[in-house]
Amino acid sequence: MQWYRLRFPIKLTFAILLALFVGFEFNLETPRWAVMTAAIVAGGTAFAAGGDPFSGALRHRGMLRIIGTFIGCIAAVTIMVATIRAPVVMLLLCCIWAGVCVWISSLMKVENSYALGLAGYTALIIVITVDASGSLQLAPRFAIERCSEIIIGIVCAILADMLFSPRSIKQDIDREIDALLVEQYRLMQLCVANADKEEVDKCWAGLVRRTTALNGMRSNLLMESGRWQKVERRLRVMNTLSLTLITQACETFLIQHTRQEYVPSQFHLFFEKPVNSIADVHNRMKVMRRVITVSGSKNTPITIRTWVGAASRYLLLLKGVHTNSSISRIEEEILNTEPVVKMRSAETRHALVNGLRTFVAIAVGSLFWLWTGWTSASGAVVMLGVITSLAMRTPNPQMVAKDFVYGMITAFPVGALYYMFVMPNTQQSMLLLCIALGLFAFICGIFIQRRQIGTLGLLVGTLNILTLDNPMTFGVSAFLDSALGQAIGPVVALLVMLLIRDTSKARVGQTLLNRLMYAAVSALTTNAARRKENHLPALYQQLFMLMNIFPGDIDRYRLALTLIIGHQRMRDADVPVNPDLSAFHKQMRHTADRVISASSEDKKRYYFERLLGEFEIYQQKLQQYEAPLGVTEPVARLAAVLKKYQNSLIKI
């Protein structure tokens, strides 16, 4: 085993023990919250990363947890003040609040949704804990204590990361931007050589995933330190340039299927030579720029000319990323070229199902608690809120629920061992208590970074049922109530997910394809401001969602990529400027929008056929106004694609 793999278990152990020490040293009411927060922030980030998390990711998660806790505490106090005389209404409002938070968080970016999901179940925890203790008047004090102890836990996790060799993401970014451009060159080699379709598909799909991952690293880098702001600006534009390289290479491949003479022989010779490093790519770009200058733009395919220009700008920004130097005048011109358009969420139905699952799960648990009066039921309701709020935004919610089921069941015997034997015998010595808990945390840390299912649930569940309070008491009945409650909660949450099935997968896929179709149609415009808008990151984000929702469905990916290529070519096409074409562009956009918003398949088919008819009329108008080949060819290609795949774009 490599020694660097022990770095995260040491960090996790130190964070938990530091939170435990601070909690008891300063006589906090419930040190357990600080300890659990340190474990969740450090352990959850590592479980998601599959190893020692980057410093930026850990701090980002900590900040989101602070924000979510504050929002949840304010909501809890507001609900209790408004409904203090009606406990049933109070719980109902908590269920609605948690469901709404999950619904809205499902429409947000994945990296930011954690805060709102946390706000939902934080309010539930405070209301249920205060209600179960029978001291509603102490709700504000309870909320303040929870906020302060959670902040202590987060600070402990961040301190542990800073002390034990914080893992910077900058070195990974430096390596990835070099490797990414080399791989982009290899994709262009395959496309120019008209290689096997499956090989090209595998290459561009891998580049889409790597470009998306690099864009995610950018946000982590900015959270790591403010000194990386210049690097972050460069990486933001390099993301668009990388997507442009993919688009131009794949368009070259598509055009060669209809026009084999599209790429001149000299470019075939240039791209035949292999490249092994970023230096090789840099030298090839110099030669190609000279050849394009000598040959002239008319003798150079537009896709290759655009590809070489994007690669040259990528190389220029790459140097600045490596050195973090001041932004030059030329770089400033590149960085301020086009405003990026953000994507609207296509998961509205999926978000609604997530919110409904959370509401139903918590409502069922609350009704069971009120009906039976069983003390364990309050713990089950809390676990229901935690699991349904956090699991719904993950790619596989059922797997997260199973992780908690396995973890909470395993936490019962492990917690019993610590609660009944280890901790009573170490109660008089803080050192022995730290050794006992530290050993457990270290072992869990080793398995968490391996993504061993059930390990994160085991760590959190064990810390929860140990009731690390000040002063500590060891009542067996209280332990059994807590252990049973947190074991029942995940099981009920899993049952709710199985009963309320999410059937929105196909609908989301169709919505994404329809939006890509609309983007390609709406790119037909003579409006200068609209033509300058950069839709490429949003379009590829939708393609990336398709790749995650439908793994292995290469035909769907090809259709999406073809529509993206159509959008980019329409955007750059020299469309004749006249009132007749401008009015027809508006009409086509309106029809494409009706295809997306149509509520039934019949209406969708009607508007889609109308759109195909408008494309035929539009092509006649282009001939009438003597539009160049650079306009008529991509329009004809887009019309042919829409006609060929109309069933895929209409049927769910």
Between residues 413 and 1, the one the model is more confident about? 413
C-alpha span between 76 and 90 (Å, rounded): 9
For position 484, what pLDDT does the model report? Answer: 85
What is the mean pLDDT of the segment spanning 216-242? Answer: 86
Residue 168 has pLDDT above 80, yes or no: no
Roughly what angle, to the nearest 10 degrees, separates helices 7-25 and 430-448?
140
On whether the CB atoms of residues 632 and 622 are closer than 8 A, the answer is yes
Local structure of 340: helix, strand or coil: strand
108-117, 430-439, 513-522: least confident range: 108-117
For position 576, what pLDDT does the model report? Answer: 82
Residue 226 has pLDDT above 80, yes or no: no
> Structure pTM?
0.83
Cis status, amide bond into 274, omega within 30 of 0? no
Domain boundaries, the chain: 3-167+346-499, 170-335, 505-650
C-alpha span between 35 and 600 (Å, rounded): 52
Between residues 139 and 11, the one the model is more confident about? 11
Q: Please write the tens of the pLDDT for every residue from 41-98.
A: 888 777 766 666 777 777 788 888 889 888 998 998 898 888 888 888 888 999 999 9
Across all residues in the chain, what is the average pLDDT? Answer: 84
Q: Please write the tens of the pLDDT for every residue from 352-396.
A: 888 888 898 888 888 888 887 777 777 788 888 888 887 777 777
C-alpha span between 446 and 4 (Å, rounded): 11
Structure tokens at 277: 């490093």
C-alpha span between 53 and 43 (Å, rounded): 9
Q: What percent of the chain has pLDDT over 70?
A: 95
End-to-end CA distance of the chain: 49
**Would you put residue 581 in left (φ > 0), alpha (ψ -120 to 50) or beta?**
alpha
On whether the CB atoms of residues 505 and 549 are closer than 8 A, the answer is yes
Residue 643 has pLDDT above 60, yes or no: yes
User: Dihedral of the CA atoms 355, 361, 362, 364 (nearest 10)?
Assistant: 140
On whether the CB atoms of residues 382 and 344 are closer than 8 A, the answer is no
Residue keyed to tokens 């999406």: 560
- Residue at 141: amino acid letter: R
Residue 1 has pLDDT above 50, yes or no: no
444-458, 463-477, 608-622, 625-639: least confident range: 463-477
